[in-house]
Amino acid sequence: MKERTLFIIKYYFSLIGLSVLYKPLFLMFNNGDTACSIGDYFNVATNGLLHDFAVAGYFTIIPLLLIMVSLFKEIPMRKILTCYNWGVAFLFTLAFLADMTLYPYWGVKLDASVLIYLDSPLNAFASITIWHFLLLLLLLAGGTYGIFRLLKLFCEKEYQPMSKELKPLATSRWTMLGAGILIGGVMFIGIRGGVTESTNNIGSVYFSDKQILNHSAVNPIFSFLYSLMHTEDFRKEYTFFEEEERAAIFNGLYPHDEQITDTLFTTRRPNIITIVLEGMSAELIEELGGMKGVTPNFNRLAREGVLFTNCHANSFRTDRGLICALSGYPSFPKTSVMKSTTKSQKLPSLASALANEGYTNTFIYGGDINFTNMRGYLYSTGYRTLIADEDFTSAERSTHQWGAGDDITFNRLYETVKSQKSSPWHITLLTLSSHEPWSVPYNRIPGDEIANSFAFTDEELGKFIDRLKQTEEWKNTLVICISDHTLARYPEGSKQSDINRNRIPLLFLGGVIKEPKRIEAICNQSDLVGTILPQLGISNAPFPFSRNILGPGYTYPFAYHCFNNGFTFIDGTGISVFDLDSRKAIHNEPADGGKQRLDRAKAILQTTYFDFYNK
C-alpha cells in the first residue's frame, strides 16, 4: 500500500514540477526587452500553481484509477503505465512547444482556436521554414523521451513493485481504496481551483499589470482544455448588462446613415479593386507616422488618394479581418465567424451588395482558399470567380510557403483586369508575401526580414498601380487598399495597450478620385462597407455594424478591437483594454472616462455576439 500511495503522490508532484519548470523558459523566450526580476519569476511560478494543480490532477486520475482497479484484479500495470507515460510525455512536450512557438506570432496562450487550422495542416505549418519544422520535430522527440525518462526515474522505486503484480492483503486493500478516494478528492479540489464558489479559469492566475507575466503564469495545457470546454455558448460569459441597460448604452454607437457630407468619386459606378494587404500595420508606413523607408510606394500613393489616417483593425487574424472588411461585421475574442459555415453564409458583403447592382465579383489569392472555410464564405457572399493556389503553376505556388508570392498575384490581378469584358466589375486580391516565414525574393532592408517582406509587398503594389495607370481602365477604377490585421509584437515591444497597436492603412485610389485628401476620424476596418456604399448610391442598410464615416450621423468616432479573449476601445477621450479571462481592465489611459469606454465596448460585444449566435 505504501508504495502505491507514494507513487501517486510523487507522480502528481512530478507533473506539477514539469509545469513549474516550463514557466521561466516561456518567460525568458517571450519577454523581449521587458526586464524581469527574480521576484517576477517567483510570482509567475507561484501564481501559476492553480493551473498546475489542475493539470496534474487531470493526468494523475488514470494512474490512480489503475491502482484502485489493481487492488481487486491483476492487471499488467507496468505495461499500461509505460504506454500512458509515453502519451503524457508527448502531450506535455507538444503543448509546451506549440505554446512557445505560436505566442510570438499570436501574442496569446495556446487554446482550442488552433484546432480550426487542422483541416488545412499544410497551411498551419506554412509559417515556418523546413529547418524550423525539423528542429521542432527534434525537440518534440527529445522532449518526449526526456519527460518519459524523468517520470520513470522519479517514480522508479515505487514503480517497480507494481510490476510484480503483488496482491495486497484484504485489510490493506480496503485501506488503500480509502486512501485513493481521499487522494482523488484532494486532486478534484485542485482541478476545481479550491472550495469557494468560483472555479478555476484562465484569469485565476493573473496577478500583474504586465500581461506577459500573466500569460507566463497560465499553463498552456489548462488554457487549451479550458477553452475547449468553453467554446460552445458564450451568451452567459458575454452578458454584462440587463437588456434595458445594454440597449441604453449601445443605442447610437452604430447609427444607420446613408447620407454623405463629402463626395469622394467622380462616378457612382466605378470598377473596383479591393486589395487586402496581409498584416500591414500603420507602424510600417511613414505616411501614417510609422517606420521610414519600408513602404515608399504606399507613401507616394497616399498623397494621390483619400487616406484614412486613424483606421483600426477589428481583429488579429486574416479569417476574422476579412469578415470585418468585406462584410462589415464585427469580430469576436475566441470565435471565427468565417469558420462557422452556417452563419458566415448568411452575412451580407461588399460583393453581394455590388452584385445586386450588376457587378461581377472575382477573388484572387495565391494560397489555399479552402483554409478556414474561406472558399465557402466567398461563394456564399457574392463572389463567383475564385482564383487561388490551384490556378497557379507548381513553380508559382512554390515561391512562398503559403503559395504564390505577391509579384505573381499582382501580375494575375493585372491580367484579370485586362480580361474583363464588361463593366462594372469588382476584384479582390488578398496578398500573402508579408506573412511569416518572411521569405521573399527581395532584400532591400537587410537585417529586418519582417520589414523587408512588407517592403516587397509595397514594391509589387507600386508596380501594379503604375501599370494600371497606363491603361484605359484606370480612368473608371477605384482601388481600395486595406489591411486585414496588424502583427503581434512588431515592432519589438508592441503591446495591446499601445494606442497605435491595431492601426492599419485604408486608402482609396484610382482615376475616379475627385481630389486627394486625408480623413482623420477614428474608425474601424468594418466601417469600409458602410462608408463606400453610400458613395456609390447603394443602401448600406444590410450592414448594421458598419458605420458611414462620411455621414452626418457619424458624431461619435471610436474604434473597437477584439483580441484572444479581450478587447480594446479607443475614442477621443483615450484607450481602454479589458481582459475577459480575469474580468479586469488591464489598461485605462486616462483613467477619467475609462468606465464609459469599457461599458460601451462590453455593450458592443454583448450585442454583436447575440446577433451572431442567432444567425
Q: Strand locations in 370-424, DSSP E?
A: 385-387
Give the C-alpha separation, 27 to 40, whole Å.
10
Give the C-alpha separation, 206 to 483, whole Å.
32
Per-residue confidence (pLDDT) for residue 102, from 0 to 100: 84
Instruction: Provide the grid cell at 176.
Output: 488503500
Per-residue confidence (pLDDT) for residue 162, from 0 to 100: 47
Give the C-alpha separation, 364 to 376, whole Å.
14
Per-residue confidence (pLDDT) for residue 291, from 0 to 100: 96
Task: Determine contact, residues 603/240, Cβ cutoff 8 Å.
Answer: yes
Q: What is the largest CA-CA distance in the chain?
A: 95
Task: Split the chain (615 residues) into runs of 10 and give each run's mean pLDDT.
Answer: 78 94 91 79 93 95 86 81 93 94 82 74 67 88 94 65 48 70 86 77 81 90 86 68 97 96 96 98 97 97 98 96 97 90 89 97 94 89 94 95 96 98 96 94 95 98 98 98 93 88 98 98 98 98 98 97 94 96 92 97 96 88
Per-residue confidence (pLDDT) for residue 166, from 0 to 100: 44
According to DSSP, residue 236 is labeled T
Per-residue confidence (pLDDT) for residue 155, from 0 to 100: 66
Task: Determine contact, residues 55/244, Cβ cutoff 8 Å.
Answer: no
Task: Determine contact, residues 547/530, Cβ cutoff 8 Å.
Answer: yes
Per-residue confidence (pLDDT) for residue 307, from 0 to 100: 98
Give the C-alpha separation, 457 to 405, whole Å.
9
Instruction: Provide the grid cell at 612.
Output: 451572431
CA-based torsion, 298, 300, 305, 310: positive or negative: positive
Instruction: Provide the grid cell at 408.
Output: 505573381
Task: Determine contact, residues 51/200, Cβ cutoff 8 Å.
Answer: yes
Give the C-alpha separation, 44 to 40, whole Å.
6
Report CA dihedral (415, 416, 418, 422) to the nearest 10 degrees. 170
DSSP codes, 167-217? PPPHHHHHHHHHHHHHHHHHHHHHHHTSSSSS---GGGG---SSHHHHHHH
Q: 3-state SS of 246-315?
A: HHHHHCCCCCCCCCCCCCCECCCCCEEEEEEECCCCHHHCHHHCCCCCCCHHHHHHHCCCEEEEEEECCC
Per-residue confidence (pLDDT) for residue 161, from 0 to 100: 47
Q: Considering only CA atoms, which of 346, 350, 344 is closest in space to residue 363?
A: 350
- 517-519 and 306-312: which strand pairing? parallel
Q: Which residues pair with 212 in a beta bridge?
A: none
Per-residue confidence (pLDDT) for residue 260, from 0 to 100: 95
Q: Which residues contact 362 (CB under 8 A, 6 or more apart)?
A: 383, 384, 385, 386, 387, 416, 425, 426, 427, 428
Per-residue confidence (pLDDT) for residue 439, from 0 to 100: 92
